[in-house]
Amino acid sequence: MSVLFGRFFQLVGMVILPIGLLMGLVRDEIQLEVRMLFIGGAFFVVGWLMARKSS
């Protein structure tokens, strides 16, 4: 079950990253872009660790 949550967290991270990139490019808000990068990366790493631990 935690593998499923881990993969879901990875998916959420992979969706947040390009949204943050587009917001930074279109609105020219670098701080928002970096914050979204950190949040998306954190989701992805947590999901990767959850999926890896259960295997």
Burial 4-38 (b: 16+ CB within 10 A, else e): eebeebbebbeebbeebeeebeeeeeeeebeebee
Domain boundaries, the chain: 2-54
pLDDT tens for the chain, 55 residues long, are 788 999 999 999 999 999 999 998 999 889 999 999 999 999 999 999 999 875 5
Tokens representing residue 41 in the block: 């990366």
Question: What is the pLDDT, as a whole number, of residue 2?
Answer: 83
Cβ neighbour number for residue 39 with a 10 Å cutoff: 15
29 Rama sector, left if φ>0, alpha if ψ -120 to 50, beta otherwise? beta
Q: What global pTM score does this model have?
A: 0.84
